[in-house]
C-alpha cells in the first residue's frame, strides 16, 4: 500500500515553507522563522496547533507574500493583523516528538565577560524594517553571542530585576513551552525583527498585547537556567544575530 505523504508535501523546498523536524513545536518554528505561532496556525488552517507531524510542510509567510528564493526575505509583506485581546498561551505539548534536548538551548556561561564593542549594523536590505533597540536589562554581560552555542546575550542581575522591551512591538508568545528558555517572552517588532527574553521569574504581558520600548515586560529569574540572568536574542528574518551589533554603547 502506498505511503500517504505528510500534509503540505507538495510545497516541500519552496520559499516561504518549512518542513517540520523532530523536536519541533509551533512555538519553536515561529522563533526560527520570525513569525507568530498563531499566524502560522492560521495560515495553515490548523485546528489544533499541537497536532503537527515530522515531515509536514507549513506555510511560514503570509499568503500572497513574495519571498526571495535565495534569502527567504519577504519582499512584499502583508500588513500585520490588528492587535486583538489577550489569549491563552499555547500548551507545551506537541505530537511532532519530544521537545529538543537542552543541548539546543542557549548556552549557560558563569564567568563574567567584557561586553564586546558595538560594530555598525549592516545597511538595511530592500524591504528591511529599521528598528532602534535599547538594552533590555542593566546588568553586566555574562555570556556573549556565539552562533553555534549561544544565540544571544546573557545579562546578569538579581531575581525580580526589570526586563524591558527593547523596542515597540507585539507579544507573539508568553509562556514556558520552549525547552531551554524557561519563562519566555517573544516580541514581534515588524516583518523583519523578533526579540526573545528568556529565564524570567515572572511574565507581565500576555500574547497579542502591544508594548512600548522600555516597558517592563517581565522580572528576571533563573527558570531553566543555572543562575539568575536574562537571555536576550534578536532574530532577523528568524536568524539569530549578535545583539551587540544592534544595541547602543553603554
Q: What pairs with residue 154 in β-bridges?
A: 143, 231
3-state secondary structure at position 91:
coil
3-state secondary structure at position 42:
helix
pLDDT > 70 fraction of the chain, expressed in percent and rounded: 74
Structure-model confidence comparison of residues 7 and 2, the more confident one:
7
Length of the chain as a residue count: 250
Terminal-residue alpha carbon distance, the chain = 64
* Contacts of 15 by beta carbon, 8 Å cutoff, 6+ apart: 67, 68, 69, 72
Element (H, E) at 26: helix 26-33
Could you give the count of Cα atoms lying within 13 Å of 114 in the half-sphere of its Cβ? 3
Element (H, E) at 198: strand 193-203
The whole-number average pLDDT for the span 50-58 is 92
Q: 94-124, pLDDT tens digit by residue? A: 334 333 333 333 433 334 444 444 444 443 3
CB 211 within 8 A of CB 217: yes
Q: 69-93, pLDDT tens digit by residue? A: 555 555 544 444 444 444 444 444 3
pLDDT at residue 133, as a whole number:
97
Q: Is the pLDDT of residue 27 over 70?
A: yes
Residue 13 burial class via C-beta count within 10 angstroms: exposed 0-12, middle 13-18, buried 19 and up: exposed
pLDDT at residue 128, as a whole number:
56
CA–CA separation, 155 vs 108, rounded Å?
11
Q: 206-244, pLDDT tens digit by residue? A: 999 999 999 999 999 999 999 999 999 999 999 999 999
CA–CA separation, 231 vs 109, rounded Å?
11
3-state secondary structure at position 193:
strand
Whole-angstrom CA distances from 136 to 58, 85, 94, 161, 233 are 32, 25, 31, 11, 10
pLDDT at residue 154, as a whole number:
97
Q: Which of 167, 147, 178 is nearest to 31 (CA)?
A: 178
Please state the pTM of the whole predicted model: 0.74
CB 191 within 8 A of CB 158: no
pLDDT at residue 190, as a whole number:
95
CB 41 within 8 A of CB 58: no
The three grid cell numbers given for residue 31, joined into one nine-digit string: 522563533
Q: Which CATH number fits domain 102-114+127-245: 2.70.70.10, 3.40.710.10, 2.60.40.1170, 3.30.70.3270?
A: 2.70.70.10
pLDDT at residue 97, as a whole number:
37
Q: 185-203, pLDDT tens digit by residue? A: 999 999 999 999 999 999 9
Backbone angles phi and psi of 244, in degrees to 5:
-60, -25
pLDDT at residue 6, as a whole number:
84
- The C-alpha R_g of the chain, in whole angstroms, comes to 18
Count of Cβ atoms closer than 10 Å to residue 75 Cβ = 13
Q: 226-236, pLDDT tens digit by residue? A: 999 999 999 99
Amino acid at each position: 500500500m502506498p505511503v500517504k505523504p505528510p500534509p503540505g508535501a507538495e510545497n516541500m523546498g519552496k520559499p516561504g515553507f518549512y518542513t517540520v523536524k523532530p523536536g519541533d513545536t509551533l512555538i519553536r518554528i515561529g522563533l526560527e522563522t520570525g513569525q507568530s505561532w498563531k499566524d502560522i496556525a492560521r495560515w495553515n488552517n490548523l485546528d489544533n496547533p499541537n497536532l503537527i507531524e515530522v515531515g509536514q510542510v507549513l506555510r511560514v509567510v503570509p499568503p500572497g507574500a513574495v519571498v526571495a528564493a535565495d534569502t527567504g526575505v519577504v519582499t512584499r509583506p502583508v500588513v500585520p493583523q490588528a492587535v486583538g485581546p489577550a489569549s491563552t498561551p499555547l500548551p507545551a505539548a506537541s505530537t511532532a516528538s519530544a521537545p529538543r534536548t537542552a543541548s539546543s538551548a542557549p548556552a549557560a556561561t558563569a564567568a563574567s565577560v567584557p561586553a564586546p564593542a558595538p560594530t555598525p549594523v549592516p545597511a538595511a536590505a530592500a524591504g528591511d524594517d529599521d528598528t532602534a533597540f535599547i538594552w533590555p536589562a542593566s546588568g553586566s554581560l555574562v555570556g556573549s553571542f556565539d552562533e553555534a552555542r549561544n544565540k544571544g546575550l546573557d545579562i546578569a542581575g538579581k531575581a525580580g530585576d526589570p526586563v524591558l522591551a527593547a523596542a515597540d512591538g507585539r507579544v507573539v508568545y508568553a509562556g514556558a513551552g520552549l525547552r531551554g528558555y524557561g519563562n519566555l517572552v517573544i516580541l514581534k517588532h515588524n516583518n523583519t525583527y523578533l526579540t526573545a527574553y528568556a529565564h524570567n521569574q515572572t511574565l507581565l504581558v500576555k500574547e497579542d498585547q502591544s508594548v512600548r520600548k522600555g516597558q517592563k515586560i517581565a522580572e528576571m529569574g533563573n527558570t531553566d537556567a543555572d543562575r539568575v540572568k536574562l537571555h536576550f536574542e534578536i532574530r532577523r528574518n528568524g536568524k539569530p544575530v549578535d545583539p551587540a551589533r544592534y544595541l547602543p554603547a553603554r
